[in-house]
Amino acid sequence: MRHFTSAYDVPDLPKLLDAALAFKKQPRFRENLGQGRTLGMVFLNPSTRTRISTQIAARNLGMETIVFNASSDGWSLEFGDADVVMNGASVEHIREAARVFGEYFDVLAVRSFPNLQNRDEDFSEKILKQFIEHAGIPVVSLESATLHPLQSFADLLTIKELHLEKRPPRIALTWAPHLKPLPQCVANSFAQWILAWGGAELTIACPPGHELDKKFTAGAKITHDQNAALAGADFVYVKNWSATEPYGQLICDDQNWLLDPEKLAKTNRAKVMHCLPVRRNLELSSAILDSPDAVVVQQAGNRVWAAQAVLAEILKFDT
């Protein structure tokens, strides 16, 4: 694996899951794999869990990390054509910036959110793609315009750890209310990974206008009826995302979508997942979050082992 930007970059998903679980048991068993190599972490948007878990993962492999926060360094990148006349606010073109990062680092990790203004632009993944095109080194997505693969890999890992029955787990991904129009990345990516894995039944429930792109959800059952999705589910993934039509907007404020213990009772004693940060009693009820049904902290913890398996795979490939 050279780059890691989606489930479809992974040549052997079951093997990568096993590698992550092996690191969870013995975090340092490959502690020299990244010796003398540096992971550059470029944040065009803020990060908590992703940054910290990836730094720990890198160090478990003996890699150094260097963090570059574009905003706090007042550094505005240009992603326009090569021939753009740069007489505006942006101070450096991605063509130079990425090539220079390629000189300094051995692996480059990049976070860049969608702007939620222009669907085609976001779906083109032009920022992530330009980093890959120009850096000349392996690139790991720390969340891009449409996907959040390290999150989804950790989510899948959590499901694999918790689902001990032989039959495929029944998974419901359900939309939740929020105050702000959020990216669709986590939801798109969760669907993509569950479907790429192939070992589960996935139902996605959302209000009209919030249907995710089929590119990510083909193979899942889509419904506007949350109760139907919850019925008999083994896992419920709770997440808000902004509308798909009109793109990127906040069009539904129906508080009935909030998951509470009464709704959870319709499931098969489901474990409740969320990528965090979560707004209590807006997205998800505190009664659930403070109960053993919620596995959100386990998910967050698994971010380390997911990132470590990914970095190890890239280091092995690239050596």
Q: Contact residues for its own copies (CB under 8 A)? A: 27-28, 31, 36, 38, 40, 46-49, 52-53, 55-56, 59, 64, 66, 68-69, 72-75, 78, 82-87, 91-93, 95-97, 99-100, 102-104, 179, 276-282, 286, 289-290, 296-297, 300-301, 304
Token pair recorded at residue 286 = 């505190």
Nearest-approach distance from CB 197 to its own copies, in angstroms: 23
Nearer to its own copies, 7 or 137 (CB): 137
Rounded to whole angstroms, the Cα distance separating 246 from 190 reads 22
Nearer to its own copies, 9 or 293 (CB): 293
Nearer to its own copies, 3 or 274 (CB): 274
Nearer to its own copies, 223 or 281 (CB): 281
Q: DSSP per residue over 55-102, as a string?
A: HHHHHHTT-EEEEEETTTTT--EE-S-TT----SS--EEHHHHHHHHH
Rounded to whole angstroms, the Cα distance separating 116 from 244 reads 10
Nearest-approach distance from CB 49 to its own copies, in angstroms: 6
Nearer to its own copies, 92 or 293 (CB): 92
Phi, psi of 40 (to 5 degrees): -90, 130
Nearer to its own copies, 42 or 200 (CB): 42
Rounded to whole angstroms, the Cα distance separating 167 from 103 reads 48
Phi, psi of 236 (to 5 degrees): -125, 115
Q: Within 10 Å of residue 29's Cβ, how many Cβ atoms?
A: 11
CB 136 within 8 A of CB 102: yes
Contacts (Cβ under 8 Å, ≥6 apart) of 204: 172, 173, 174, 187, 191, 212, 217, 220, 221, 222, 223, 229
Nearest-approach distance from CB 16 to its own copies, in angstroms: 21
CB 190 within 8 A of CB 220: no
Rounded to whole angstroms, the Cα distance separating 156 from 152 reads 6
Nearest-approach distance from CB 225 to its own copies, in angstroms: 25
Nearer to its own copies, 42 or 173 (CB): 42
CB 199 within 8 A of CB 232: no
Nearest-approach distance from CB 288 to its own copies, in angstroms: 11
Nearest-approach distance from CB 249 to its own copies, in angstroms: 19
CB 237 within 8 A of CB 288: no
Nearest-approach distance from CB 229 to its own copies, in angstroms: 24
Nearest-approach distance from CB 199 to its own copies, in angstroms: 25
Nearer to its own copies, 23 or 247 (CB): 23
CB 7 within 8 A of CB 157: no
Nearest-approach distance from CB 313 to its own copies, in angstroms: 21
Nearer to its own copies, 74 or 164 (CB): 74
